[in-house]
Amino acid sequence: MIVRGDRNEVGKLIDGFNGINQIGVIGWGSQGPAQARNLRDSLKDTGINVKVGLRHGSSSMEKARAVGFTEESGTLGEMYDVIHESDLVILLISDAAQVRHYREIFGAMKPKAVLGLSHGFLLGYLESISEKFPENISVVGVCPKGMGPSVRRLYEQDSGINCSFAVEQDIDGDATDIAIAWAVAIGAPYIFQTTLRDEYRSDIFGERGVLLGAVHGIVEALYRHFVSRRDVTVCDAFRMSAENITGPISSAISKEGILGLYNSLQIHEQAIFDIAYVTAYNPSKALLQEIYDEVASGNEIRSVVMAGDRLKEFPLGTIDATYMWGVAGRDVRESREKTGEPPIEPLTAGVYAATMMAQVDVLKARGHSWSEICNESIIEAIDSLNPYMHARGVAYMVDNCSTTARLGARKWAPRFDYAVMQQILVRYENVRAESNSLILRFKNHDVHRALATCQEMRPPIDIAVA
């Protein structure tokens, strides 16, 4: 089911929010400020109060006040008070905080209230410890397909960002209407249906795959591969790997699709793309299936929770201080105006496209919907994350995303790197060498000279055949 949203039809929104007098937006991270403001703007004059809930003494209190959420106007309060008062509780605190505090949060909610999530992580965690949501509340998900700042900016520009929605628990038959109304009110132009389980699986899987982990590992390995060639400078190696994916390859896919990227190549480049694609598809798919199994089994979520306990003693270091990101990447970005966009490197394009297609195939085989597959494997990469990485660098992006995503990227990027280095490039070079030697043998084959001689002795061509 895909719904076309139109937030200007305010009357219908109120119908959808039947029985909702107050929406509590809990947390002020990436999604909180965006959704709270979009909801307030959309629901102006409807009588529905949008109230932000934060911990006492939180440094975010000041930020919320700065954009007009205040205690005086009844639109800002203590987190558990707001949870207790609200008919729809939109829980936008971090994954780690959800895992730490879910019992108190559930305990504070009114019976028959609706819990709203923008991510299925909490369901995944409850499943991994064999627990459930309380039976006396409804649980819905509305998951914008982009970061909070984009959710706000695109709303202001009157275009909005697509959302998936899911109804996990519906105690009185209103949950679907409420979820759709929430999605419309934060500005979603298209709203497609999923389940919270599919959502957390594809989301956690996707960021460990082609959205973050895979792209990081692939460009590290390809950069080293190009650097090892004597005729390539480090800056050109960066342009042929990281810059290529976040720049021209992403633009080509964004405009023409993955097949369009392929069709845009010259025939001799397609030959290289073909070898790269064929050698990359299976090793990438093996890793992506491993990631999916780890996410679906609850292992990956348990790992995130255990990592949280270690972060105090061992904070995550940054990954952007290596020569590739700290020197080559910066130089390439700074010299862009002068050098222009590099041509598409067919080896890089083949490896990247194979990984993207393998991710699509893994999600399809596990029963995900096409809208979810395209969003988590292609559109979010091409239109949201890669452009950001193009501006700041892949390593910067990894160092500045959510802890769950950051841990995942650090865990899986090295695996993709090793797959490229140990499986893909080794086979690619062998096939290239083999085809080079076959082509050389073809070019130097004695038959050509023999044929030429025959030609001299043969009858005129274009003989009429009776």
Catalytic positions, please? 119
Q: Is 330 in the site for a second copy (CB under 8 A)?
A: no
Q: Which two tokens stand for residue 243?
A: 């810059």
Distance between CA atoms of residues 267 and 264, nearest Å: 9
265-284: which residues touch a second copy (CB under 8 A)? Answer: 282-283
Q: Is 286 in the site for a second copy (CB under 8 A)?
A: yes
The SS3 call for residue 261 is: helix
Q: Is 413 in the site for a second copy (CB under 8 A)?
A: yes
Cα dihedral across residues 426, 427, 431, 437: positive or negative: positive
Burial of 283 (0-12, 13-18, 19+ CB in 10 A): buried
Instruction: By CB under 8 A, name the one of 153, 171, 414, 432 that touches a second copy.
Output: 414
Instruction: By CB under 8 A, name the one of 233, 297, 335, 437 that touches a second copy.
Output: 297
Instruction: By CB under 8 A, name the one of 12, 411, 431, 432 that touches a second copy.
Output: 411
The helix/strand count (H/E) of the chain reads as: 25, 9
- Cα separations in angstroms, 208 against 84, 136, 143, 212, 345: 35, 34, 18, 6, 24
Distance between CA atoms of residues 184 and 181, nearest Å: 5
| DSSP string across 400-459 | TS-HHHHHHHHHHHHHHHHIIIIIIHHHHHHHHHHHHHHHHHHHT-HHHHHHHHHHHHSP
Closer to a second copy by CB, 240 or 252: give it: 240
Q: Is 235 in the site for a second copy (CB under 8 A)?
A: no
Contact criterion met (CB below 8 Å) for 140 and 165: yes
Q: Is 366 in the site for a second copy (CB under 8 A)?
A: no
Closer to a second copy by CB, 159 or 228: give it: 228
Instruction: By CB under 8 A, name the one of 63, 302, 333, 392 that touches a second copy.
Output: 302
Q: Is 339 in the site for a second copy (CB under 8 A)?
A: no
Instruction: By CB under 8 A, name the one of 58, 60, 94, 303 that touches a second copy.
Output: 303
Q: Is 36 in the site for a second copy (CB under 8 A)?
A: no
Q: Which stretch binds a second copy (CB under 8 A): 68-76, 189-197, 236-244, 299-307?
A: 299-307
Q: Which stretch binds a second copy (CB under 8 A): 30-38, 57-65, 248-256, 309-317?
A: 309-317
> By CB under 8 A, how many residues form the interface with a second copy?
37
Helix (H), strand (E) at residue 346: helix 346-365
Distance between CA atoms of residues 51 and 79, nearest Å: 10
The interface mask with a second copy, positions 106-145, x = CB under 8 A, is: ----------------------------------------
Q: Residue 144 pairs with which residues in a beta bridge?
A: 163
Q: Is 322 in the site for a second copy (CB under 8 A)?
A: yes
Closer to a second copy by CB, 114 or 275: give it: 275
Distance of CA 77 to the CA centre of its chain: 33
Q: Which stretch binds a second copy (CB under 8 A): 115-123, 244-252, 304-312, 454-462?
A: 304-312
Closer to a second copy by CB, 130 or 157: give it: 130
Query: CA angle, 258 as apex, 256 and 263 as ends, to 5°?
Result: 70
Q: Which stretch binds a second copy (CB under 8 A): 257-265, 329-337, 347-355, 412-420?
A: 412-420
Distance between CA atoms of residues 194 and 447, nearest Å: 62
Q: Considering the complex, what minimum distance in angstroms separates the CB of residue 428 from a second copy?
A: 12
Contact criterion met (CB below 8 Å) for 262 and 273: yes
From start to end of 100-237, where are the E strands? 114-117, 138-144, 163-169, 190-193
CA neighbor of 353 nearest in space, from 285, 293, 435, 290:
285
Closer to a second copy by CB, 65 or 302: give it: 302
Q: Is 289 in the site for a second copy (CB under 8 A)?
A: yes
175-234: which residues touch a second copy (CB under 8 A)? Answer: 224, 228
Q: Which stretch binds a second copy (CB under 8 A): 194-202, 317-325, 374-382, 448-456?
A: 317-325
Q: Which two tokens stand for residue 276?
A: 């790269």
Q: What is the largest CA-CA distance in the chain?
A: 103
Q: Which two tokens stand for residue 223?
A: 């950069």
Q: Considering the complex, what minimum distance in angstroms separates the CB of residue 287 from a second copy?
A: 9
Instruction: By CB under 8 A, name the one of 426, 440, 451, 454 that touches a second copy.
Output: 426
Instruction: By CB under 8 A, name the one of 285, 368, 390, 406 that touches a second copy.
Output: 285
The site for a second copy (CB under 8 A) is made up of 224, 228, 282-283, 285-286, 289-290, 293-294, 297, 299, 302-303, 306-307, 310, 313-314, 317-319, 321-323, 410-411, 413-415, 417-418, 421-423, 425-426
